[in-house]
């Protein structure tokens, strides 16, 4: 959310890799409709503009997990 609460970022992820662009296009095409669905549920003076972003947190977590499982790190973590 922006400091003035007029912009909200929604982080989204697809179940199929490589479909992120199509997902963002569909969400942006229906932005006004989704905002209309959200508006009655909020008790705010203004309904924020929703900006959709691809959530990359799982990709980052996967890279960290892969690093931790690598033989070089496992060797360093062995108890001596």
Predicted TM-score of the model (pTM): 0.71
Between CA 49 and CA 38 the distance in angstroms is: 11
Between CA 1 and CA 49 the distance in angstroms is: 10
Write out pLDDT tens, residues 32-63: 999 999 999 988 888 999 999 999 898 899 89
Structural domain boundaries in the chain: 7-77
pLDDT at 74: 77
pLDDT at 78: 75
Arithmetic mean of pLDDT over the chain: 89
Q: What is the dihedral of CA 31, 36, 42, 48, to 10 degrees?
A: 40
């Amino acid at each position: 959310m922006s400091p003035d609460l007029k912009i909200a970022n929604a982080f989204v992820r697809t179940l199929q890799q490589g479909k992120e662009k199509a997902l963002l296009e569909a969400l942006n095409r229906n932005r006004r409709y989704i905002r209309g669905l959200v508006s009655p549920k909020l008790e705010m003076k203004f309904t924020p503009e929703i900006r959709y972003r691809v959530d990359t947190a799982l990709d980052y977590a996967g890279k960290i997990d892969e690093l931790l499982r690598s033989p070089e790190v496992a060797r360093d973590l062995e108890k001596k």
